[in-house]
């Protein structure tokens, strides 16, 4: 998936532990083969290729992932949208961009974006992108999904405890061998050597999306790799969003959504979701959090 995974398992012997880790790796690779937009043989690439042409029959697993992604679009008023992907023709975060794209280019490209044009047929298990040039991509949800699946697989094999860390998308279960809870350190995005807090994660997920790794700068302004699907322009104002949720998939999608929704609307949404919490750091270094998170003195660090 173009990102680093760290896998931790609690096992009786090193051999047993290594075997479990290999299972997790195989599972993550399998998912990559399903959702990758780089791999031209993936079902996702086929859906994109057939945009505006015809519906594509896909595996139940991919169909359901897309279905959940579309529901998240509705929940976030379109802030989260897997069809943001055609914007990657305009915005590139690999260092190759030298100029701000023109308004006309952004407008033409954003016309291809819109979850309303992802047509799903639950009977036939088909996905149809209704506009030519439309594209879907799982950049904002795929790592979380893979972490959830790897965790579920290991749990089903009897692994008592572990952590799947997909480049900051963390999912844990069970406890450390000494009986202590797993803990996650939330890094201060303004100074990566400092952490805000060490929080316990109990059988759940915590995901951080940050713009400090992928962004472009024009005229001294920083543009993040998260695009507002409604305008076609990168989101602004937030440098890091951490979400706690029962699944990494949900946490991943919501962390991305917060960038687009902004602090007030975003925290409002999070407060309405059961078992979901967030910590947001804005571009002035101020920390904002949902109602159920109590971390003292965070703004002072």
Can you give the binding site for ligand ADP, defined by CB under 6 A?
80-82, 84, 137, 139-140, 168, 209, 225-227, 229, 252, 255-256, 260
Q: Which does 84 bind (CB under 5 to 8 A by kind): ligand ADP, Mg ion, none?
A: ligand ADP
The distance of closest approach from Cβ of residue 98 to ligand ADP in the complex, given in angstroms and rounded to an integer, is 19
State the binding partner of 80 from Mg ion, ligand ADP, none, CB within 5 to 8 A by kind: ligand ADP
Q: Tell me how far, at minimum, the Cβ of 37 lies from ligand ADP, in Å.
A: 9
Q: What is the DSSP string of 180-200?
A: PPEEEEEEETTEEEEEEEEEE
Given the rule CB under 5 A, which residues bind Mg ion? 140, 209, 252, 255-256
Task: Please tell me the distance from the alpha carbon of residue 46 to that of residue 33, in angstroms, as a whole number.
Answer: 12
Q: How far apart are CA 263 and CA 289, in angstroms?
A: 9
Q: What whole-number distance in Å separates Cα of residue 118 and Cα of residue 214?
A: 27
Minimal CB distance residue for ligand ADP:
139
- Closer residue to ligand ADP (CB): 92 or 124: 92
Work out how close the CB of 112 gets to ligand ADP at its nearest, in angstroms, rounded to a whole number: 14
**Which residue in the block uniquely carries the two structure tokens 């949404």?**
269
Binding at 174: pick from ligand ADP, Mg ion, none (beta carbon under 5-8 Å per type): none
**What is the nearest approach in angstroms of ligand ADP to the Cβ of residue 140?**
3
Shortest distance in whole angstroms from residue 195 CB to ligand ADP: 18
- Give the integer Cα–Cα distance in Å for 91 and 226: 10
Q: Which CB, 117 or 160, lies closer to ligand ADP? A: 117
Instruction: Return the number of the residue (151 or 225) whose C-beta is nearest ligand ADP.
Output: 225
**DSSP at 100:** P
**Nearer Cβ to ligand ADP (139/174):** 139
| Cα three-residue angle 79-258-214, rounded to 5 degrees | 95
Distance of closest approach, residue 152 Cβ to Mg ion, in angstroms? 19
Residue at shortest CB range from Mg ion? 256
Tokens 């290999």 identify what position?
22
CB of 144 to ligand ADP, least distance (A): 7
Per partner kind, with CB cut-offs from 5 to 8 A, the member of Mg ion, ligand ADP, none near residue 227 is ligand ADP
C-alpha distances (whole Å) from 179 to each of 17, 175, 219 are 18, 6, 52
Given ligand ADP, Mg ion, none, residue 139, with its beta carbon under 5 to 8 Å by kind, binds ligand ADP
What is the crossing angle of helices 14-35 and 60-75, to 10°?
70
Alpha-carbon gap, residue 120 to 160, rounded angstroms: 37
CB contact set of 249 (below 8 Å; sequence gap of 6+):
68, 141, 144, 145, 147, 148
């Amino acid at each position: 998936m173009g990102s680093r995974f760290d896998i931790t398992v609690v096992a009786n012997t090193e051999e047993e532990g290594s075997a479990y880790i290999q299972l997790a790796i195989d599972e993550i690779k399998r998912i990559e083969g399903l959702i990758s937009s780089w791999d031209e043989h993936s079902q996702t690439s086929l859906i994109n290729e057939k945009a505006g042409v015809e519906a594509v029959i896909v595996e139940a697993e991919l169909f359901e992932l897309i279905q959940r992604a579309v529901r998240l679009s509705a929940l976030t008023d379109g802030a989260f949208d897997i069809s943001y992907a055609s914007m990657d023709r305009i915005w590139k975060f690999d260092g190759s961009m030298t100029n701000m794209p023109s308004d006309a280019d952004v407008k033409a490209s954003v016309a291809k974006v819109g979850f309303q044009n992802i047509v799903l047929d639950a009977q036939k298990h088909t996905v149809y992108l209704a506009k030519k040039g439309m594209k879907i991509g799982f950049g904002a949800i795929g790592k979380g999904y893979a972490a959830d699946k790897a965790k579920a697989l290991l749990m089903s094999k009897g692994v008592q405890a572990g952590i799947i860390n997909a480049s900051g998308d963390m999912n844990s279960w069970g406890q450390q061998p000494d009986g202590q809870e797993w803990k996650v350190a939330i890094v201060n995005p303004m100074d990566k050597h400092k952490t805000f807090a060490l929080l316990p994660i109990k059988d759940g997920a915590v995901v951080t999306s940050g713009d400090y790794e992928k962004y472009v700068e024009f005229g001294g302004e920083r543009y993040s790799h998260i695009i507002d699907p409604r305008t076609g322009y990168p989101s602004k104002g937030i440098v890091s969003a951490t979400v706690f949720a029962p699944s990494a998939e949900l946490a991943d999608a919501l962390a991305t959504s917060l960038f687009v929704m902004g602090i007030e609307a975003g925290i409002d949404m999070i407060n309405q979701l059961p078992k979901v919490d967030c910590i947001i750091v804005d571009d002035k270094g101020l920390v904002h959090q949902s109602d159920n998170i109590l971390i003292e003195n965070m703004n002072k660090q």
